[in-house]
Amino acid sequence: MTKTFYVTTPIYYVNDVPHIGHAYTTVAADVIARYKRLRGFDVHFLTGTDEHGMKVEKSAAEAMISPIELANSVVERYKKLWPLLNISNTDFIRTTEGRHKTAVDRIWSDVKKKGDIYLGHYEDWYCTPCETFLTELQLVDGKCPECLREVEKLTEESYFFKLSEFGDSLIEYIEKNPGFIEPASREREITNFIKTGLRDLSVSRTTFSWGIPVPDDPKHVIYVWFDALTNYLASVGYPNDDLKFKKYWPADLHIIGKDILRFHTVYWPAFLESAELPKPKKVFAHGWWTVDGAKMSKSTGNVVDPVAIAEEYGTDQFRFFLFREVPFGADGDFSIEALKSRINSELANDLGNLLSRSVSMIIKYRDGVVPDYVEASIGELENELLNSFSALSSSIDKLFAHLNYYDVLNEIWLRVREMNAYVGNCEPWKETDDDKLSTVLHLLAAGLKVLSVYINPFMPTASEKLRVQLGLSPSLEGKDFDDEISFLGTVNGLKVTKGDPLFPKVD
């Protein structure tokens, strides 16, 4: 049976246009989706849009359009952005779709039947931009601790979810499943939060109407987070397509930003437990980008538009930068200077030059055909390179298991540099021994072939271009992973061609 892998991004609010933060989460999910496909998994990769709630209703009113018109126009932008960033999602869900509403109705009804939803009264502070309820204690100078904006006092009839009863079982789940919350610092944060005691959660509102009505009590709409989280179930056929649901659920991985950790690691598993559904296997929270050292905001006008960056500097270059610049999980700073410097030094100089000099030498010394190696010419330098490459596969797999993209790229670039150093040490242009020269050229082609596989999840187009120059079939789809990363003796006879620089330099 094929192994499956189900990965999700958060679904994005439609009251904002896509920026680097949204691109970050989605490219991150794309990287692991592509890696898992290379490793033979049947991958379901979901992204989409979160379209209900007071925030969207307000934004639409300000723009003097209906909420669905606002949603439709922002969805268009996402649907243009994802192909531009080479995102390989297999589903795009909108919370205004029928299949989503069916799923929300069902989970609500199941949780209600279970006795975990009751009608009460709600009085508290609410931050509309963050769609978050806050206690008096959480306020900072009377304002929202997250966005520092004004909060509103709300008293209304509301349904509550008995979150307070789930603390112990959540702690137990976290303890029994190391790696459920990553990075580890986030796990501690959530464990501490749960241990301070959970309050029941208001899960319906009566003060606005843009949402999914509570079954049997339509003057209430379902709280936007209860609604939104359910998208992860709806996409895989819940509640009507049992076969599909069993195939993909529980999700292997929810990738999210650190700001929405609590929703995914406290509320979500509690809702699922109440509905007697399995909990996701992993939630990974990444950090936030600042821009030139400052918080990104519409009012400062420093919002980074991923469309503009990808068009000007290249999709692969942008994707590479996101994971090369900052460890995934930590906060980072975006600047055009840093992007250019990564492109020029590590893409153009290190990898691009390695390819172009290797191809040039194979053309010059062997008429463009990769020669076989000669066993007797394998010396100390060759063995070092071979050993280094043979350790790569298992170390990269372990790093991917924890979404340690930063170290994956480190491992890859270590090999790129080793190969460049190898060329420098061997000086093939001075080599008079024909066997030795063949062996060197063979090793360069083989190493580049392996590198084309490992860079593929990050830079799918560059991987294909590299393979074309090496005379390999561009796509890795359907290829056997182990064959593709095997080294010696697998590139004989390939006909290389000189192409455009893989990564043009930028000023």
| Interface residues toward ligand MSP, by CB under 6 A | 10-13, 21-22, 24-25, 50, 228-229, 231, 256-257, 259-260, 288-289, 296
> Smallest distance from the beta carbon of 450 to ligand MSP, in angstroms?
32
- Nearer residue to ligand MSP within complex by CB, 158 or 231: 231
What are the start-end ranges of the E strands in 194-257? 201-202, 204-205, 213-214, 217-222, 253-257
> Smallest distance from the beta carbon of 216 to ligand MSP, in angstroms?
24
Number of Cβ within 10 Å of residue 376's Cβ equals: 9
Euclidean distance between CA atoms 366 and 495, whole angstroms: 10
- Nearer residue to ligand MSP within complex by CB, 254 or 342: 254
- Nearer residue to ligand MSP within complex by CB, 268 or 389: 268
Number of Cβ within 10 Å of residue 27's Cβ equals: 25
Euclidean distance between CA atoms 501 and 466, whole angstroms: 10
- For residues 8 and 254, the answer to whether their CB atoms sit within 8 Å is yes
CA angle at 187 for the pair 184 and 189, rounded to the nearest 5°: 115
Which residue in 177, 210, 251 sits closest to 59, CA to CA?
210
| DSSP notation for 35-68 | HHHHTT-EEEEEEEEE--SHHHHHHHHHTTS-HH
- Nearer residue to ligand MSP within complex by CB, 160 or 284: 284
Euclidean distance between CA atoms 276 and 110, whole angstroms: 9
Maximum C-alpha span of the chain: 87
> Smallest distance from the beta carbon of 112 to ligand MSP, in angstroms?
21
- CB-nearest residue to ligand MSP: 257
- For residues 251 and 231, the answer to whether their CB atoms sit within 8 Å is no
Q: Kindly tell me the number of DSSP H helices and DSSP E strands found in the chain.
A: 21, 15
Residue type, position 12, single letter:
Y
> Smallest distance from the beta carbon of 201 to ligand MSP, in angstroms?
15
> Smallest distance from the beta carbon of 100 to ligand MSP, in angstroms?
11
> Smallest distance from the beta carbon of 2 to ligand MSP, in angstroms?
27
Taking CA atoms, 146 is separated from 50, 126, 134, 140, 150, in Å, by 20, 12, 10, 9, 11
Euclidean distance between CA atoms 264 and 260, whole angstroms: 7
> Smallest distance from the beta carbon of 11 to ligand MSP, in angstroms?
5
> Smallest distance from the beta carbon of 238 to ligand MSP, in angstroms?
14
Euclidean distance between CA atoms 269 and 279, whole angstroms: 6
- Nearer residue to ligand MSP within complex by CB, 29 or 448: 29
- Nearer residue to ligand MSP within complex by CB, 280 or 428: 280
Cis previous bond, 250, omega within 30: yes
The owner of tokens 């010419």 is 377
- Nearer residue to ligand MSP within complex by CB, 22 or 44: 22
Number of Cβ within 10 Å of residue 391's Cβ equals: 12
- Nearer residue to ligand MSP within complex by CB, 21 or 211: 21
- Nearer residue to ligand MSP within complex by CB, 34 or 52: 52
> Smallest distance from the beta carbon of 277 to ligand MSP, in angstroms?
15
Strand partners, 213: 221
Taking CA atoms, 266 is separated from 31, 95, 220, 352, 381, in Å, by 26, 21, 23, 45, 53
> Smallest distance from the beta carbon of 18 to ligand MSP, in angstroms?
9
What's the distance, CA 133 to chain centroid?
Answer: 28
- Nearer residue to ligand MSP within complex by CB, 177 or 300: 300
> Smallest distance from the beta carbon of 292 to ligand MSP, in angstroms?
13
- Nearer residue to ligand MSP within complex by CB, 237 or 447: 237
